[in-house]
Amino acid sequence: MASKLLRAVVLGPPGSGKGTVCERIARSFGLQHLSSGQFLRESLGGGGAAHWLFQGSQDHFTAVSLMPSTQTSSLSPVFCLHPRCFPASHSHSHPAACPGFPRTLGQAKALDGICQLDLVISLNIPFETLKDRLGARWVHPASGRVYNMDFNPPHTQGVDDLTGEPLVQREDDRPEAVAARLRKYKDAAKPVIELYKSRGILHSFSGTETNKIWPYVYSLLSSKIPPILSEEEH
Ligand code: G5P
Ligand code: MG
């Protein structure tokens, strides 16, 4: 079993299940779940802060700072803030799983200046499946909890299970917005995927169901770091 920190990211198009898979990784391996999209939404909702800090819990955290220009598409990570991010000699085995980052070749190169990734998990899901999933997604804005009317519906329709607060549909889940997001993702992601493939660290998982992909992701990570939950307990 490896004893160093594992640096991993999860990539995939909108609706591919990055958030769902990372939430399972976080619970199964005792990690913090970081989402660049969630931070972005919170920051923009809060008036467009000029600076975001992504950080996990305790002393094993990933901090990536994004400095926006005028458009979200030109975000670039500028530094990994904390010296304890990805320490070279660490006595524990803790991965950093960050869904949706890096999203462009520029971000991938900037990340190279911060650390070398060990593992990239890429989710390949058919376009039609993505559209269906996003159309049925409901979120709890305050926590980022994600539901799907087919896959993981809330106990009571339209209401968050934990807080009882109303669920909303994301603005960018409207069908016309989804099509534009998918196009944008495809163009930006291709060179990123190629880069990690050429480095031999890309692990691609294809399918239409997260529950069928998950055992393979779990098995891959379990071979590198010790889980705290079994595969079924996510
Ligand atoms: P986000 O928030 O990262 P996207 O577009 O990359 O947004 P998104 O939409 O959040 O990704 P996801 O996390 O990949 O999708 O998918 P998910 O939420 O887990 O699953 C989608 C739905 O399907 C959910 O309802 C889930 O319950 C359901 N589901 C999961 N598995 C199954 C299944 O097997 N079956 C079924 N039926 N349902 C399932 O980023 C938002 C925007 O911010 C910007 C970008 O513009 C991005 O579009 N952004 C960045 N910009 C620049 N740089 C960055 N690094 C950026 N990060 C974000
Ligand atoms: Mg997400």
* pLDDT of 118: 83
Res 27: pLDDT? 84
Cα–Cα distance measured from residue 159 to residue 129, given in angstroms and rounded to the nearest whole number: 24
Three-state DSSP class for 76? Answer: strand
Q: How confident is the model at residue 76 (pLDDT cuts 50, 70, 90)?
A: very low
- Which of 10, 11, 18 to probe ligand 1 with, by most ligand atoms within 8 A of CB? 18
Among 210, 212, 234, which residue has the most ligand 1 atoms within 8 Å of its CB, making it the best to mutate? 210
**Residue 32 pLDDT:** 61
What does the pLDDT average to over 151-170? 96
Strand partners, 123: 205
* pLDDT band at residue 135 under the 50/70/90 scheme: very high
If you search the block for the tokens 């071979």, which residue do you land on?
Answer: 223
Domain that holds residue 33: 1-44+98-135+178-233
96 vs 98: CA distance, rounded Å:
6
Predicted pLDDT of residue 97? 47
Q: Which atom of ligand 1 is nearest to the CA of 100?
A: 3
Specify if 73 maps to a domain: no
Asked if residue 126 lies in contact with residue 207, where contact means CB atoms within 8 angstroms, the answer is no
Cα(22) to ligand 2 centroid in Å equals 9
pLDDT confidence bin for 228, thresholds 50/70/90: confident
Examine residue 151 and state whether it is found in any structural domain, yes or no.
no
Q: Are 213 and 205 in contact (CB under 8 A)?
A: yes
Residue 127 lies in a domain: yes
For ligand 1, the distance from its centroid to the CA atom of residue 19, given in whole angstroms, is 6
Determine the distance separating the centroid of ligand 2 and the alpha carbon of 140, expressed in angstroms: 12
The whole-number average pLDDT for the span 32-50 is: 52
User: Residue 4's pLDDT is what?
Assistant: 54
pLDDT category of residue 9 using cuts at 50, 70 and 90: confident
The answer to the question of residue 80 being in a domain is: no
Q: pLDDT by residue (tens digit) across 190-219?
A: 999 999 999 999 999 999 999 999 999 999
Structural domain tally of the chain?
1
**Is residue 91 in a domain?**
no
Q: Which pTM value belongs to this model?
A: 0.80
| 116: in domain | yes
Q: pLDDT over 90 for what percent of the chain?
A: 36
Residue 163 is assigned to a structural domain of this protein: no
16-33 pLDDT, tens digit per residue, is 998 888 888 878 887 666
Ligand 1 centroid vs 17 CA: distance in angstroms?
Answer: 6
Looking at the domain assignment, is residue 154 inside a domain?
A: no
Pick the residue with more confidence: 222 or 111?
Answer: 222
Candidate from 58-72, 108-122, 138-152 with smallest mean pLDDT? 58-72
Residue 130: which of 175, 169, 194, 190 has the closest Cα?
175
Task: Find the mean pLDDT for residues 111-140.
Answer: 89
Q: For residue 70, what are its two tokens?
A: 């005028």
Tell me the CATH number at 23.
3.40.50.300
Assess whether pLDDT exceeds 80 at residue 163: yes
225 band by pLDDT with thresholds 50, 70 and 90: confident
